[in-house]
Amino acid sequence: MKASPEHQRILLDVADIDRRISQAEHARTKPVQAARISELVSIRQDQLRELTALTGVRDDARIELTRLEADVKLVEQRRARDTERLATATNAKEAQALESELDSLARRQSSLEDTELDVMGRVEEADAAVAAQQALLDATTAEGSALTAQAKADVAAATELGAQLARDRAAITEVLPAPLLADYARRAGNSAGAALLTAGTCEGCRIVLPSTDLNSIRRAADDEVVSCPECGCILVRTDESTRTDESGR
């Protein structure tokens, strides 16, 4: 294929833009925050399950405490009632029965209050555990929200950059012959598409070309489109392209 040296050099700009478009597309579809956000989603689910379990334990303890408080109140009411009845009792047998019931109620109240204190401690511990777990969940949520917001901003920026680069590409490729651009596009599927040949080295694959290939390139006309024998990209040549020794010969 034939193409002017000027058009071949433009391919270097096209290749650079395509590289940046690829980077922008990667940033748009796979923001750097994505992995951490995904990790945080999993962490948050685990933390939420743990919070639900801890909340259940706390709620059960609160229900038990409420029941105990009601039982203590009921015993206190019965003791107050029996005390009033004992104060007005005239029958010795009835008074003895009331005294016996008061003793039983006192023991019952003492036992309930001991259990109540134990459950109150469990409620305090459960409250602290729930609060600590909620704090962990809040921190995870806050980090996730911040990263998500940053990812959205980065995606928007990458989208705009990609669009601008696409416009730039369209502008500079207008002057290129369609066959040359098509040939570049075909090669770009498997290589850089086009790269500078510098001191016998393909800048696309960083391979130093064998002397036989360099000799063939030296003999090629300036408007001849030559290829890298290693990666297949179009080699754009300058005066220094095939000079490989320190003296420049």
Q: Which residues are registered as beta bridge partners of 202?
A: 197, 207
- Residue 243 located in a structural domain: no
Listed residues 119, 153, 172: the one ending a domain: 172
Alpha helical stretches, state H, 89-209? 92-173, 178-188
Same structural domain, 200 and 222: yes
pLDDT of residue 240: 76
Same structural domain, 166 and 226: no
DSSP letter (8 states) at residue 224? B
What is the block-wise mean pLDDT of the chain (249 residues), using blocks of 10 residues? Answer: 95 96 96 96 98 98 97 95 89 91 94 96 98 98 98 98 97 96 95 94 95 93 95 91 53
pLDDT of residue 248: 40
- Residue 248 located in a structural domain: no
All residues at 6 or more sequence positions from 101 whose CB lies less than 8 Å from its CB, including other chains: 78, 82
Q: How many domains is the chain partitioned into structurally?
A: 2
pLDDT of residue 246: 43
All residues at 6 or more sequence positions from 196 whose CB lies less than 8 Å from its CB, including other chains: 12, 203, 235, 236, 238, 241
pLDDT of residue 244: 58
Are the beta carbons of 51 and 140 closer than 8 angstroms?
no
pLDDT of residue 245: 52
- Residue 245 located in a structural domain: no
pLDDT of residue 132: 98
All residues at 6 or more sequence positions from 161 whose CB lies less than 8 Å from its CB, including other chains: 20, 24
Listed residues 116, 146, 172: the one ending a domain: 172
- Residue 203 located in a structural domain: yes
- CB burial string 63-80: b at 16+ within 10 A, e below: ebbeebeebbeebeebbe
